[in-house]
């Protein structure tokens, strides 16, 4: 287990990286009440090193990483993440934990 100080530092760095390298996205819930929110998210296109992800979600699959603090309600399968004219539909959502505390979500989006 991390000390409280180290946990705080690691969580801050996780959030800083998303803020620094991320892009603005609009999140829309699939289920009513269909909340929407603009969030900063990291987005990666699955590549050769992500063989299992490509096999599960196809070539061009995307991994979207967001901070848990940005969501009052956790994102779920079928939620929409839009970047400009591109829309991505969540295929799977996984929690990211640090010291058993939820700090973010990884959203997997199908490719071709």
> Which residue has tokens 């058993």?
100
Q: Return the domain boundaries, the chain.
A: 4-109
The architecture of the domain spanning 4-109 is: Beta Barrel (2.40)
Tell me: the pLDDT tens digits for 13-67? 999 999 999 999 999 999 998 999 999 999 998 877 788 888 888 888 999 999 9
Give 45's contacts (C-beta < 8 A, 6+ positions apart): 60, 61, 62, 111
Would you say residue 3 has pLDDT above 80?
Answer: yes
* Contact (CB, 8 A) for 46 and 61: yes
Q: To the nearest 5 percent, what fractions of the chain are helix, strand and coil?
A: 30, 45, 30
Would you say residue 112 has pLDDT above 70?
Answer: no
pTM above 0.85, yes or no: yes
Tell me: the pLDDT tens digits for 77-93? 999 999 999 999 999 99
């Amino acid at each position: 287990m991390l000390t409280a100080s180290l946990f705080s530092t690691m969580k801050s760095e996780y959030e800083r990286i998303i803020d620094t390298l991320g892009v603005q996205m609009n999140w829309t819930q699939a289920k009513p009440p269909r909340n929407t929110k603009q969030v900063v998210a990291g987005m990666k296109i699955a590549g050769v090193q992500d063989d299992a992800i490509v096999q599960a979600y196809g070539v061009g699959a995307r991994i979207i990483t967001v901070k848990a603090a940005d969501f009052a309600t956790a994102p779920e399968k079928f939620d929409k993440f839009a970047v400009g004219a591109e829309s991505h539909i969540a295929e799977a959502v996984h929690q990211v934990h640090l010291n058993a505390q939820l700090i973010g979500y990884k959203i997997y989006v199908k490719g071709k």
